[in-house]
Chains A and B, each alone.
Chain A
């Protein structure tokens, strides 16, 4: 690993650790458990690659890590829908249906392309998976907006963070698929910055003090339904 890569990795690790601490201190782990697991896993894989690059700074480990991250991101979107919209059954059902549809289309798009080499896996398959994940988060936001549902500030930050990171990352990976490995230097330069910005946003959200009367309508909706 180059020194600047280690530097960025250390910065991201510090931000991830601060995010985890913020979630724990402010009691926000239970708001979205899969998000806390995602942050912990991102921190773990970050440290593995930085501390033991000989074993973990490899294409196989990278593919494994990205697959795990993609699964966890899908779980985060599902949890935001199922738990975040629990007081609104119809909206929640619409959200789950939309996520299932997006997951189905994404799986088809990924499965329809053979992946003979590493470049195809990175530039085509992963880019499609990232795009599916972005639209999963967009679907959650769109349903919350259609039914004018209140969203916890932490949920807003999680969706914005994933949309920001996956949008930029998906675009960059797609450029690698289209232009070949010559475009990889843009991924290497831009993606860590986008990811650090994303984790910075999550950290701020995790530590933000609870606003007075936050999530009131959700509580009111639950009590109104009895």
Chain B
């Protein structure tokens, strides 16, 4: 009976995957990614996010040092600033991860 349940589960997963797919959006995204302008935009997004990650890390370090120095209010403010920054860039990070994954599908070797 386990085989039957797994078969039915497979059917549900297949239907769920197909229902979530948006072929037009996928084609638009690929067209964008494969155009020279799209590639440059992707690289620019990567650079911007790297800079933002450094800024977030900087606020964390500063917050740790402020906490060590006993400046609790400053540390809390820095932690909050870092958290806010992270939240604001979350969507962009997801988008970059997706674009990088799509680009990786074209690679011949892993890595």
What residue in chain A is nearest B32 (Cβ atoms)?
A217
* Stretch in B47-55, B82-90, B100-108 with 4+ CB within 8 Å of A: B100-108
With contact pairs A170-B3, A177-B1 given, residues A87 and B106 touching in the complex (Cβ less than 8 Å): yes
Is A185 on the interface with B (CB-CB < 8 A)?
no
Chain A nearest CB from B101 CB (Å) reads: 6
B44-88: CB near A (< 8 Å → 1, else 0) gives 000000000000000000000000000000000000000000000
Question: In the complex, are the beta carbons of B10 and A173 less than 8 A apart?
Answer: no
**Number of chain A residues close to chain B: CB under 8 A:** 50
Residues of chain A contacted by B98 (CB below 8 angstroms): 148
Question: In the complex, are the beta carbons of B4 and A216 less than 8 A apart?
Answer: no
B14-49: CB near A (< 8 Å → 1, else 0) gives 110110110100110111001000000000000000
Per the bound structure, the CA–CA distance linking A173 and B6 in Å amounts to: 12
Name B's interface SS.
helix
Is A204 on the interface with B (CB-CB < 8 A)?
no
Is A135 on the interface with B (CB-CB < 8 A)?
yes
Residues of chain B contacted by A131 (CB below 8 angstroms): 3-4, 6-7, 10
With contact pairs A88-B105, A164-B11 given, residues A159 and B18 touching in the complex (Cβ less than 8 Å): yes
Name A's interface SS.
helix
Per the bound structure, the CA–CA distance linking A225 and B34 in Å amounts to: 10
Determine which of A170, A173, A221 lies in contact with B30 in the assembled complex, contact meaning CB atoms within 8 Å: A221
Per the bound structure, the CA–CA distance linking A39 and B77 in Å amounts to: 67
- Chain B interface residue bracket vs A: 35 or more
Is A124 on the interface with B (CB-CB < 8 A)?
yes
Chain A nearest CB from B99 CB (Å) reads: 9
Chain B nearest CB from A164 CB (Å) reads: 6
Chain A nearest CB from B30 CB (Å) reads: 3
A78-103: CB near B (< 8 Å → 1, else 0) gives 00000000011111010000000000
Residues of chain A contacted by B6 (CB below 8 angstroms): 131, 134-135, 170
A153-175: CB near B (< 8 Å → 1, else 0) gives 10010011001101111111111
Question: In the complex, are the beta carbons of B27 and A134 less than 8 A apart?
Answer: no
Chain B nearest CB from A154 CB (Å) reads: 12
Chain B nearest CB from A139 CB (Å) reads: 10
Per the bound structure, the CA–CA distance linking A177 and B2 in Å amounts to: 10
Residues of chain A contacted by B110 (CB below 8 angstroms): 90, 93
With contact pairs A130-B7, A159-B14 given, residues A148 and B108 touching in the complex (Cβ less than 8 Å): no
Question: In the complex, are the beta carbons of B105 and A171 less than 8 A apart?
Answer: no
12 new A-B contacts at CB < 8 Å, known A148-B29, A167-B7, A167-B10: A87-B106, A128-B3, A134-B6, A149-B102, A150-B30, A151-B21, A159-B18, A164-B11, A177-B1, A177-B4, A221-B30, A221-B106
